[in-house]
Chains A and B, each alone.
Chain A
Amino acid sequence: MAQEDTNIIDQPEVIRHKMVTVEIAGKKYEVPEGITIIKALWYSGQEVVRGAGCLGGFCGACAAYYRTKDDPKVRTCLACQMAVQDGMSITMMPPFPARKATYDIQTLKDPKQDLFNLYPEAPLCRNCNACTEACPQKIDVREGVWKAVFGDFKSVSEMFMDCVMCGMCTPVCIADIAPNLVALYVSRAQGAHFTEKPLGLDARIKEIQDGRFDDEWATILKMSEKELADHCATVK
């Protein structure tokens, strides 16, 4: 059936396939304007193994640095979520050897104090704000580090819900803090130790253990295919 032509979105850049020049790890390539950086890597013939994961902006595997034409500022991005433009220079971030503390979250005695044993560098933040500027998820990372140190675990857990663990906040830190790892510890401690236990959940688990649904199960599992289908149709 014919489609009314009035229902077409203009996307001149797509239809004309305008090519732009970008620099990937120091080499120049021509790629179609507007594709994502990851697609530009593929387009320029590179095999991508490290540097791509979910391709949806959630895993942080594609952390990258970029600079736009004539701008001295080097910025960070998730390469699967960033469109290329003419004159852009791009480099993927290599894995960074940050130290992760190990702990047993369930048996911590005093999680707020333990923070200082696990991450003794956390209180040494020098407020340079580089971590916040480096975060592609726009988290106020510096603020989060301070809140962690002051024991406001709840705020930290809310602020870092967007954290994709790309680690871009870490290489820039002059105090050798890995803010995302600190925040992860803090968020888990918040969940495991400082959040109310949901009473309804325990009640439901007990109901199941006590066989409260056994009769209903017995009825359902006895039904013929037809009876079951009819029963299902009554549930709206």
Chain B
Amino acid sequence: MDVHALQQIVHGTRDARRKQTLPKFSPADRDQLIHKYHPDYRERAYRPIRFGPNGGDKTVVELASLLEGDSSIADEFDLTADYTTDVLVVGGGGAGCAAALHAHTSGAKVILATKLRLGDSNSVMAQGGMQISVAPGDSPVTHFVDTLKGGHMQNDHQLLKVMVEEGPSIAKWLLSLGVLFDRDGDGNLHVKKGGGSSKPRLLTCSDYTGLEIMRVLKDEVLNQNIQLLEFCAAVELTSDEKGNCTGAIFKDLDNHRHVVVAAKSVILATGGIGRLHIQGFPTSNHYGATGDGLCLAYRLGAKLTQIDTFQYHPSGAVYPEQLIGALVTEGIRSEGGHLVNAKGERFVNELDTRDVVSSSIIRECEEGRGIRTMSGRVGVWLDTPLLDAEHGPGTLEKHFPAMMLQFDRFGIDISKDPVLIYPTLHYQNGGVKIDTNSETNVHNLFVAGEASGGLHGRNRLMGNSLLDLMVFGKRSGLTAAVRAAAMPQGKLTVGHLKGFRAEAKKHGSSNGIVSPMILPAYTRKES
């Protein structure tokens, strides 16, 4: 059927649906739904990691093989340093920029190395906003409780407390750098309500929150003359005889040469894993989201946590073909957009947590109430025109300019037509285990941002990631800078590889895979 004909059911049922209120699931129903439909519970997709710090723990097969993968660096590699620095930041997203700026401000010499250009990352794409408890009726404690609930009570309490308490001062820092958060009439910060939150708490810059923050942070990194190594992908870390981290080895993607950086501390801010396309899911992530930091830290002995849980964002585009996997911001649901199945029915409280909403969409589709595209995908409708109907014409245009433009490029006017969506691989809930200063169990190795784990429990609450980046970027940067002032540069070796390779051999794991992946292999080979 023509897409417009299929959409009629959404238009036809809109008024009736507006009168409906859908209750949230009871804790028992919610658990049952998730266990049955959430991709995290597909046994077949998982296997135990054979060896290393998390030997025996289960994770998705895609990640397990990379963690067990071999380094591209040989034992006898020439480790003469090309650069020497106090703090080496790896990754140019929000966490990396925040870490570099704070380390620099406290007087450390900083190098920021990143795989693509500075800022090419997941961070630029964040549309929904950033959770900070600034509203009068809200508090850091409520923020803490909401996040715990969202994370199925599995969040690290200490990390979480630090994050929610430092939120407001982070907002102040960003404002002082010129970030233009949306305001209320009285000049206070405007807050929106996000899925899974009991209070409106999302700070936004229309639907360009990540872009606005990143434009400013990037500009600031350049203004501070922080040394940049762009198109440099970290392929291995270096360690001294005690196993402490002492630097990193990069591959320059332009000339394919290696670059060795000696550093007193290394901060990995390499982001997530979307481009591993776990369980075949499309993804909302940037080109370089290949879990590199996990592999690097793991080989050096850093412990990972909660790497068996991933976030599948409920609304990834399914149609048109060109936008598959691209994110349709949760803001649409925050402002009242309904999810509607092929029968014209709502089937979940749209503001429930992401895992619940995603699971229910998968349920609708598996039980035959989805809408299929000719390319074999399936999805449900997100009633975008409802926002204009509810809040007046022009609402979408005003609040979601980025999304309007994105669909308009393919001739779709989302203020007139609903969009088809299905869960998309969005976020790695877990990652490298860190303490409240963002340091791992490997001395002088810090991990900040999406690559780290523990804070978000088994399901990250929307808007908490941007805050995570800023808070732990800052903490890692400050701690590394202070420490650098009082320590000598350690020796550069790749001694840790010996042990890792021996382990691999013992476990019969010569799977031939070299990690990190660096970029996904999308280039079509000769057929």
| Interface of chain B residues 128 through 158 with chain A (CB within 8 A) | 133-136, 139-142, 144-146, 148-149, 153, 157
B124 within 8 A of A: yes
- Candidate in B3, B183, B215, B216 with the most chain A CB atoms within 10 angstroms: B215
B367 within 8 A of A: yes
Q: Count contacts on B: residues with CB < 8 A to the other chain.
A: 94
Task: State which of B140, B231, B374 has its C-beta within 8 Å of the C-beta of A8.
Answer: B374
> Contact between A59 and B119 (Cβ–Cβ < 8 Å)?
yes
Task: State which of B208, B253, B321, B372 has its C-beta within 8 Å of the C-beta of A7.
Answer: B372
**In whole angstroms, what is the CA distance A225 to B153 when docked?**
8
Inter-chain contacts of B10 with A (CB < 8 A):
none
Inter-chain contacts of B401 with A (CB < 8 A):
161-162
> Contact between B1 and A9 (Cβ–Cβ < 8 Å)?
yes
Task: State which of A9, A57, A201, A228 has its C-beta within 8 Å of the C-beta of B153.
Answer: A228
A43 within 8 A of B: yes
B513 within 8 A of A: no
| Interface of chain A residues 45 through 65 with chain B (CB within 8 A) | 45-50, 52-59, 61
| Interface of chain B residues 1 through 53 with chain A (CB within 8 A) | 1-3, 6, 27
**In whole angstroms, what is the CA distance A40 to B27 when docked?**
46
Of A86-94, A120-128, A168-176, A185-193, which stretch is located at the interface?
Answer: A185-193
**In whole angstroms, what is the CA distance A6 to B145 when docked?**
45
Q: A102-B222, A200-B135 are in contact. Are A7 and B205 (CB under 8 A)?
A: no
Please name the residue on chain B nearest to A77 by beta carbon: B409
- Candidate in A59, A213, A216, A231 with the most chain B CB atoms within 10 angstroms: A59
> Contact between B210 and A104 (Cβ–Cβ < 8 Å)?
no
Of B172-180, B298-306, B459-467, which stretch is located at the interface?
Answer: B172-180
Of B77-85, B331-339, B385-393, B519-527, which stretch is located at the interface?
Answer: B519-527
Inter-chain contacts of B139 with A (CB < 8 A):
213, 216
> Contact between A213 and B169 (Cβ–Cβ < 8 Å)?
no
Selected A-B contacts with CB under 8 Å, 28 pairs? A8-B1, A9-B2, A9-B371, A9-B374, A10-B2, A11-B321, A11-B373, A11-B374, A45-B525, A53-B124, A55-B287, A56-B125, A57-B406, A58-B210, A59-B121, A61-B117, A81-B322, A105-B220, A161-B205, A165-B119, A191-B216, A198-B175, A200-B136, A213-B140, A216-B139, A220-B145, A232-B145, A235-B145
Taken residue by residue from 398 to 416, chain B's Cβ proximity to chain A (1 for < 8 Å, 0 otherwise) reads as 0001100110011000000
> Contact between A205 and B168 (Cβ–Cβ < 8 Å)?
yes
CB distance from B230 to the nearest CB of A (A): 10
Inter-chain contacts of B410 with A (CB < 8 A):
83
| Interface of chain A residues 79 through 111 with chain B (CB within 8 A) | 81-83, 100, 102-106
Q: Count contacts on A: residues with CB < 8 A to the other chain.
A: 83
| Interface of chain A residues 1 through 23 with chain B (CB within 8 A) | 1-4, 6-12, 14-15
Q: A8-B1, A8-B373, A35-B322 are in contact. Are A3 and B368 (CB under 8 A)?
A: yes
> Contact between B519 and A190 (Cβ–Cβ < 8 Å)?
no
Q: A42-B523, A61-B116 are in contact. Are A14 and B161 (CB under 8 A)?
A: no
Inter-chain contacts of A191 with B (CB < 8 A):
175, 177-180, 216
Q: A3-B372, A55-B286, A198-B188 are in contact. Are A232 and B180 (CB under 8 A)?
A: no
> Contact between B180 and A45 (Cβ–Cβ < 8 Å)?
no
Inter-chain contacts of A233 with B (CB < 8 A):
27, 149
Inter-chain contacts of A105 with B (CB < 8 A):
177-178, 220, 223
> Contact between A54 and B180 (Cβ–Cβ < 8 Å)?
no
A34 within 8 A of B: yes
Please name the residue on chain B nearest to A34 by beta carbon: B321
B284 within 8 A of A: yes
> Contact between B189 and A200 (Cβ–Cβ < 8 Å)?
yes
Please name the residue on chain A nearest to B122 by beta carbon: A54
| Interface of chain B residues 282 through 340 with chain A (CB within 8 A) | 284, 286-287, 319, 321-322, 326-327
Please name the residue on chain B nearest to A50 by beta carbon: B231
A137 within 8 A of B: yes
> Contact between A184 and B402 (Cβ–Cβ < 8 Å)?
no
**In whole angstroms, what is the CA distance A208 to B141 when docked?**
11
> Contact between B187 and A196 (Cβ–Cβ < 8 Å)?
yes
Task: State which of B172, B187, B373 has its C-beta within 8 Å of the C-beta of A9.
Answer: B373
